[in-house]
Structure formats: C-alpha cells, structure tokens
Chain A
Amino acid sequence: MKEKLEALKAEAVSAVNSVTDEKGIEELRVKYLGKKGEITSLLKQMGSLSPEERPVMGQLVNKAKQEVEELITVKKAEISKKETEQKLLNETIDITMPGKSGKPGKLHPLNTVLNDMIDIFQSMGFDVVDGPEVETDHYNFECLNVPADHPARDMQDTFYLGENLLLRTQTSAAQIRTMETRKPPIRVICPGRVFRADEVDATHSPVFHQIEGLVVDKGITMCDLKGVLEQFAHEIYGKDTNVKFRPSFFPFTEPSVEVDVTCSECGGKGCRVCKGSGWIEILGAGMVHPKVLKSCGIDPDEYSGFAFGIGLDRLTTTRYKISDIRLLFENDKRFLEQF
C-alpha cells in the first residue's frame, strides 16, 4: 500500500506539473483529492491494515494528500496569474489615440491677463474696486485737473452722451471716487473698460481696457512708485526686466512719467518689436497732482501718492504676440481656444 501511495503521488505530481489551464487542474484535484479521488480512496482502504500500520499509513496518506493539495494550490495560482496576464495583454490599446473629455471653454485672453494682474496687485495689498463706465465730466476731467477748454482735452477724443455725461476715457475717474470715499492710506486698483473716439484699426479700438492704480499715504515718493512697478514688471515679464522712467505729462500727475520696460522679445538688445531701442512703453504714471488730492479733500501737505494706468489690451497683445487688436473683439472660437 505504501508503494501504491508513492506511485500515486508521483503520478499526481507529474500530472499537476504538466497541466496548463485552470480547468485541467480542477479535474486533477477531483481525480486525486476529491471525495472519490484516488488518494482519498486510499484512506478508505485502511481497514485492511493492521492496527499498528493504520496510524502510520494514515499519516503518510494525509501527508501525501497535503503535498499534492499544496502543489495544486501553487499551480492553480500560477495558472491564474498567467491567464490574467494574457487577458490584460489582449486588452492592450493604442495609447496614441486622442483623449476623450468634455472640452472646457476658456476665459477671454484679456481676462486671463487681468486675473494675473489682479493677483499681483492684491498680493501687494491693493484692493480691487470698480467705477461706472458712464462718467460725469466732473469725475472724468474736472477733478483730474483737466478743466473745460484745457488743451489737454485735445489729447483724447471723448464720446459724449449728454450735457456733462460721457463714456469714461480713463479709469482715472475711479481714483477720484475712491479718494472721496476712503481715507488714506489708500491702495487700490480699478480695472475697467474705457472709451475713446478712435477709428478701428490694427492698433486702435474705440473700446479698450485699463487698470488704474492709486496709492495715497504719508511720505509716498517716486521711489515707491518705481518699486511697485518693478515688482509688477518682474512678475509679468520676468526677474531680469528693468524699469525706466521717462518724463512726460498728464494733467492729473506731477511729476509724470512714461514707464518703459526691457523689451521681452530681445531682452534689451534691440529688435523689431521695440524698434531697436531695447525698451517698450507699457504705462503712464506719476505722483498724484496736489490739486487732485485737494479736490478730493486730501491735504497735499500731509499726504502724497502715486497713480498709474496700464493698458490691458496692449499688455495682452504683446504677451501673446497678437498682431491685430481687432481679434480681441471678434470672438472667433479658433482664436479664443488658444489661450
């Protein structure tokens, strides 16, 4: 009986080792280890053994059974793993095929750039405020030191809507409203839409956008103005950008400056974009005119401040190298998708 067991075990081991699929292994399990399996049935033949042999033989059979069972379990796992691997292999896909998703839309590039700017100025402690687009002559001109018939009014052609009512030509009007309602220290920006009677062409639009900045506090100087604009320029154009002040004239600031930054196209070496100068003009700024402070009830002997006005449209067209400002207002989806 012992020999028979050995033979049976050897046969089972060899059968299990040569089997390749899950079905075959299950058949072998039944054949050898099932209730009527060949090894199991050896246990039933124990009756023919002597009482001394029975426990010994019983142990041997159980051991053999256990060994075959373990072998089957291992083999089964092995086969199952192989089959899974094969199945996954068969499921291989072409990963170069396009992705699927509900395509999101995009913000208008003007607002993408505006959001960046708002973020930069908010981080420097500027509150973001709004003002009306239909302004009075008072806020758009008078309070900004541009009295009626002042030659400076020639600098901008204004759309009029009624006696003393106009479409604001500059977000600077919001400066006044801010100074009238807040007490220094003041630190605000006012982004918004402005209007000028410019015929439409590649670089002019009767509707465009500005961001007005205003700081009023004790002891504010042009160095503070430059510091803020430098930080702004570094964030927008990169750390190596230099800022240059050129004297200029605006009725509501004194001293007034035009602000140039290193041409981002050539890094200051001079190129077509900067017309060889290495600089591009990005905004106008200056120290708030004492008359303007006074007209808003702020004592110019106690407080000083600076203001600046950034052209959002120009900033956007230069950032994305958009050659024609009209594209911003055409709203062709193929254009809007790009930003």
Chain B
Amino acid sequence: MKKAFKWSNLYLWFVFILLYLPIFFLIIYSFNAGDVMQGWDGFSLKHYVELFADTRIIEIVVNTFLIALLSSLLASILGTAGALYIYDQRNRLIKNIFLSLNNILLVSPDVIIGASFLILFTVVGFSLGFASVLLSHIAFSIPIVVLMVLPRLQEMNQSLVAAAKDLGANNWQMLSRVILPVISPGILAGFFMAFTYSLDDFAVTFFVTGNGFSTLSVEIYSRARQGVSLEINALSAMMFIVSLVLVLLYYVISTRSSKNKKRGTRLVTPATEGL
C-alpha cells in the first residue's frame, strides 16, 4: 500500500531540519582538521584533544554543572514549599498576589533580573562569584518549579488530605507520605526544567558573575568575540550530547514511574517501613 503524501509531514521535516541543521553543522565542523569553519580539511579529533587539555574550560564545565545541580535542587525544595503555601492559602487575595509575583518573575526578561541582582549585590556589598551566581540561579528557578508543582497539587484529590488526617496522620506524615509522593512527578519535572534553565542561562549569569568565576555560556560568549575557535565546536558537541542524555533520562524516569504504577511495584518506600 502506498502511503499518501502529506504536506503536513513535509512541513514538519522542514521545520526540524531548519532547527537542527546549525547544530549539526557545528558538530560536524568540530571534527574538522582545519582551524576554521570554512572548507573541510579532513577528519580529526584534535579539537577534542585541545578541549580536554584546556583546564580552564574543564573547570568552567564543572562549575556550570555544580551551579545547575545545586540551584535546581534548592529551587525544587523552595519552589515546592512555595507551591504548597500558595495551594494552602485560603485567602484569595494573598493567593493571587503570590501567584502573580511568581508569574511576573517567570516572564520578566533575564536582562532585568540580572541587572537588578547586580544592583542588589553591589548595594549590600556581596562579592560577585560562585555564591552570587548560585543565588540568582536559585531565584529564577523557583518560579519554574512552582509552575510545575502547583497544577499537580490542584489536580490532587482534596479528600486524600482529609483521609490522611482521618487515619491519624499529623501534618508532617500527611505531607511526606501522601502529598509529596502524589506530586512527585511535578517536582521532578520542575527539577529538570530548572536544571536546563540554569545550564544554558547567559544573561543573568553575565551580570552577576565576577572575580574570574565563569559559566559555560558566558565563557563561550567571551571567546566567540575573539573569533570562534573550533574547540568551542567540540565543547558544543559534548554539551549537545549531555542535553540529549538528560532528555532521555527524564523520559526513562517518567515512563518507568508510570509503568511501575501499572504493575503495582513500588517506587516509594512501603508505608510499613521507615517512620
């Protein structure tokens, strides 16, 4: 049977090619034996060798991932607490004020967030570097986590909370055994979102970094101004692979937890253990 030709499919492929072509162009040239992106001089891994010899770049990569991991972890905790507060708030006005503040932070341009953080840090005399970057990353990640967690809370059956209380659970037991496990997919999604936002943030970091501390996006930007070395291409290729792995990881975790639910095996510790 001959498959019918579909314009929509053609369009889809066109868009995908348009989106991914520059990335693949970059990756392919990371294997170029020459030093520029004009003309193919043969296959070589020399830019990768250069990359791994560049201790400053390695250090920056480690810093970037450390910032991303720490900021998204802390933002997940704080954001979940914030979402719980907004969810639990009975006063409509206060609830809406907090929600709006959260959303404004989410849509406001990075440049403004970055500039305001710079002003804040200078005014209070906070030295720029690792801590200032970490704090600002946590700050812009919290609204993302709140946005991912809040719908889960709102979808949650209200009577679950009533049932936990009815069965004798105190607030902490209710939270740890019922609410958190139920909203955990939202927290997980929030964590991954915050992680990727932190990884590729340029604007905010650019403002609040200093004293020699740098993250990848800022470093690549400053190097690119002096002409793009193919070492950057090698680095970008590696980063692309890492992103791909992250996406796959998220996919595997989320499908496995839903499969587990179906089979009846446990992701969470059985209620009889612990506590």
Q: Do A and B bind each other?
A: no
